[in-house]
A and B are shown apart, each in its own frame.
Chain A
Amino acid sequence: MKKQMLLLMMVVLLMGSVLAGCGNTDETGGAESGDAKTINFLHWRGEDTEAFNAIIEKFEEENPDINVEMNALPSDSYIANASATLLSGKGADVFASFPGSQFEALQESGAYVELGDQAFIDRFSENMLGAGQKDGKQLAVPYQLVYNIPVYNKGVFDELGIEPPKDWDGFLEVSQTLKDNGYDPILFAGDVSPSQFINPMVMNNQPSDEAFAKLETGDEKLTNDWFVKTLSQIKELNDKGYFQKDPLGTKKEGAAALFAQEKGAMLALGSYMMATVAEQNPDIEQGLLSPITVSEDEMKYEGIHTSTFMLGVNSKSEHQKEALKFIEFLTKPEIASEYANATGQLLTVKDVEYDSPELTETAAWLDKKTLFQPRYTLSKEQVSKAIETAIQDVLSGVEPEEAAKKAQEEVDRAIK
């Protein structure tokens, strides 16, 4: 009996120590070696790990009293996994966040330290900082810049002697020419394009940076003319066969593969696909264009941009000074250039030197009149999803008015 009890006690103690070991990871994760302090950098760009590691090495050389531990989570479940870490204050001193509803939710919970008085703010293009502001406070700095407008094959356009169109009639004409010459004019990815293509389609039909945001206050409705017109134009493109076969069944990877194989001329995604396409087909010459849905003289915006990968410092961090130092380092033009060229990302930081044709092409859009992605002005994801679903409905054969009505009902439920 004594032996039995002893054995049991040992089992219980062993289990206890295993559980205790599990619970101790945070403490060891944030442990300091010697006098050096360790800060944690949390983001979702696993593909940039190598580039960040090289930069972190340089940072640690320059700041021997600070160690940086990086943790990259999958982007689609980023907030799901990161929220507990952020709230605990351990495991994320510097963190990246998406603009829009995710930023809203995090700022509501007081996750950010205000960055407005930091000197590195001056290194950013001023018009790119808005996504990280709330009530006049700069809570996060958007590091990356993407253009959410179609990528086009310059070689195909040159071969057919066509130019990027400047109005809606021109867009239809170019699409017809491409179709007549055996190309799929627009490659549409059913899983991603609805949330991307809607932005340039709507930017001149309702040329306001608050068009979508007003949906949440009830000042705009999806049943209004501008949205029904946008859906009707998407239907027109679909009815005329300007999208490839079965756009809703085609995934992002499939659409990108068709574009890289030069079977289609426009890819309805964004500048962030250019590096991927260039990897698949190094000979392809890519550019960016927008579908202008009005006449040339009515056009207000030339394209859509999104400043994202918003870097912030955790308000619960015990190492805020060191975390700010790390962001300051990342925003140095020479470090930002290194990151941009290693990862193929366009950045919001000024004076960055790009060395690839895709980045050079994209950087040219910095001087154009572009609108911040309307979808990211929404704080409620249900509203964004209602808009996306309306497009999927239209591509499934639902009439634009009916799809708009259904979407507005969903918006009404979300803002109730």
Chain B
Amino acid sequence: MQSNNNVERVGGARVASPYVASTAKKRKKKWNWALFFFVLPGFIIYSVFFAGPTVAALFLSFTDWNGIAPTFNYVGFSNYTNMLTDDPIFVQSLGNNLKFTLGVLIFQTVLSLFFAMLLVKNTKANIFYRAVYFFPTIVASVSVAFVWTFMYDPNIGVINNILSAVGLESLAKSWLGDRNIAIYSLAFVQFWAHTGQMLIIFVAGLHAIPKELYEAAEIEGASKWQTFKSITWPLLAPSATIVVAYTTIQSFKAFDLVIAMTGGGPSYATEILSTFLYHEAFINFRFGYASAAAVIFMIIIAIVTVLQFRLLKSNDVKF
């Protein structure tokens, strides 16, 4: 058959290949230019908008460029060594980022799973509630920040006013002004804004679990907790992997919410890595230093993501 020229057998499956076997005896490989053109647009976009800036950031991280001047000096690894050994703000930003990410990760994963289990059945009410929970996801984060900043305001904000009105004045806090709780106040807004998104992923994952397994468990007399532990959670592992990885990356990269609500203050209590590198690049005019921060930031996210994938992959169940 003529079309056999363009296919190879891999693991028993017939797949398209860029290489063509001309004869059975002599397998001469030829480059198929048509397939190259298929890849080209994506390759160009990836190179211009991702690979290029990444390489540029790596290069700039070894310079003292201020972001404006036409010239700069090479400074070797000094940006990295200064940042890791003599920059308490960078260390504080990293610590804040971990607190923020961990807070969001735990609450967002647990609660989105909880709500997903409550709303898994496709009833009209459940579909309505899913839409309601998803709504904050589609609101621009700057709008979310604006609304929550007013809600958190200690004098005119609705949260403290409600707490005072119901006699819980002692619980009224300086939500964004207290250095000890400001980062958690921001984490709560991030959690509020994105839980609906994760809920939808979990609902999709729950729908993919075969009903027969639950029926078998019921016949065997398994309790709800046993059913969850032995069926739901293991079979939800792929969805959980996506939720955990996505939440982690999203929380590490949270920027607009923090900039709009606190700008990293008070006293750097809410400065996270993304705002740190923004301040270094565009406020302090230390573009080289900020590039070094960006490289470290990228490495941290890559390590955390790989670890998470490996950890959660080990829980995968095939059926």
Cα-based distance from A96 to B235 in the complex (angstroms): 59
Cα-based distance from A79 to B285 in the complex (angstroms): 10
Whether A249 is near chain B, meaning CB under 8 Å from some CB there, is: yes
Check B155–A246 contact: CB distance below 8 A: yes
Nearest CB in chain A: distance from B189 CB, A:
14
Check B37–A79 contact: CB distance below 8 A: no
Cα-based distance from A66 to B71 in the complex (angstroms): 34
Check B282–A249 contact: CB distance below 8 A: no
* Residues of chain A at interface, number, CB under 8 A: 48
Can you list 13 A-B pairs, Cβ within 8 angstroms, ordered by A? A1-B34, A8-B34, A12-B41, A77-B282, A83-B67, A105-B67, A105-B68, A105-B69, A111-B68, A190-B177, A249-B177, A393-B267, A396-B179
Check A413–B34 contact: CB distance below 8 A: no
Q: Digit string of A224-245 for contact with B (CB within 8 Å is 1, else 0)?
A: 0000000000000000000011
Check A87–B68 contact: CB distance below 8 A: yes
Q: Which of B69, B154, B268, B285 contacts A249 (CB 8 A)?
A: B154
Known: A249-B176, A257-B156, A258-B155. A396 touches B69 (CB 8 A): no
Check B68–A108 contact: CB distance below 8 A: yes
Check A12–B40 contact: CB distance below 8 A: yes
Whether A380 is near chain B, meaning CB under 8 Å from some CB there, is: yes
Q: Which residue of A lies closest to B36 (CB)?
A: A8
Check A381–B283 contact: CB distance below 8 A: yes
Dominant SS among interface residues on chain A: helix
Check B156–A246 contact: CB distance below 8 A: no
Whether B153 is near chain A, meaning CB under 8 Å from some CB there, is: yes
Q: Which of A4, A83, A106, A249 contacts B34 (CB 8 A)?
A: A4
Q: Digit string of B262-281 for contact with A (CB within 8 Å is 1, else 0)?
A: 11011110000000001101
Whether B108 is near chain A, meaning CB under 8 Å from some CB there, is: no
Cα-based distance from A364 to B44 in the complex (angstroms): 61
Nearest CB in chain A: distance from B7 CB, A:
15
Check A396–B266 contact: CB distance below 8 A: yes
Whether A254 is near chain B, meaning CB under 8 Å from some CB there, is: yes
Q: Which of A80, A250, A385 contacts B153 (CB 8 A)?
A: A250
Nearest CB in chain A: distance from B118 CB, A:
34
On chain A, the residues within 8 Å of B66 by CB distance are 105, 108-109
Whether A37 is near chain B, meaning CB under 8 Å from some CB there, is: no
Whether B152 is near chain A, meaning CB under 8 Å from some CB there, is: yes
Known: A249-B154, A389-B268, A396-B266. A381 touches B86 (CB 8 A): no
Interface size class of B (residues with CB under 8 A): 35 or more
Indicate the member of B40, B176, B265, B285 with the most A CB atoms within 10 Å: B285
Check A249–B153 contact: CB distance below 8 A: yes
Cα-based distance from A41 to B23 in the complex (angstroms): 68
Check A246–B69 contact: CB distance below 8 A: no
Check A79–B282 contact: CB distance below 8 A: yes
Whether A54 is near chain B, meaning CB under 8 Å from some CB there, is: no
Whether A392 is near chain B, meaning CB under 8 Å from some CB there, is: yes
CB neighbors of B among A384-415 (8 A): 385, 389, 392-393, 395-396, 410, 413
On chain A, the residues within 8 Å of B149 by CB distance are 251, 253
Nearest CB in chain A: distance from B218 CB, A:
52
Indicate the member of A111, A395, A396 with the most B CB atoms within 10 Å: A396
Check B69–A108 contact: CB distance below 8 A: yes
Q: Which of B89, B262, B285 contacts A101 (CB 8 A)?
A: B285
Whether A51 is near chain B, meaning CB under 8 Å from some CB there, is: no
Whether A208 is near chain B, meaning CB under 8 Å from some CB there, is: no
Cα-based distance from A79 to B69 in the complex (angstroms): 13
Whether B284 is near chain A, meaning CB under 8 Å from some CB there, is: yes
Whether A31 is near chain B, meaning CB under 8 Å from some CB there, is: no
Whether A119 is near chain B, meaning CB under 8 Å from some CB there, is: no
Check B174–A248 contact: CB distance below 8 A: yes
Check B262–A191 contact: CB distance below 8 A: yes
Q: Digit string of B153-196 for contact with A (CB within 8 Å is 1, else 0)?
A: 11111000000000000000011111100000000000000000
Cα-based distance from A191 to B143 in the complex (angstroms): 18
Check A249–B178 contact: CB distance below 8 A: yes
Whether A382 is near chain B, meaning CB under 8 Å from some CB there, is: yes
Q: Which of A5, A76, A86, A248 contacts B177 (CB 8 A)?
A: A248
CB neighbors of B among A1-29 (8 A): 1, 4-5, 8-9, 11-12, 15, 19
On chain B, the residues within 8 Å of A248 by CB distance are 174, 176-178, 265-266
Whether B70 is near chain A, meaning CB under 8 Å from some CB there, is: yes
Cα-based distance from A191 to B270 in the complex (angstroms): 12
Check A190–B266 contact: CB distance below 8 A: yes
Q: Digit string of B248-271 for contact with A (CB within 8 Å is 1, else 0)?
A: 000000000001001101111000
Cα-based distance from A15 to B37 in the complex (angstroms): 12
Whether B220 is near chain A, meaning CB under 8 Å from some CB there, is: no
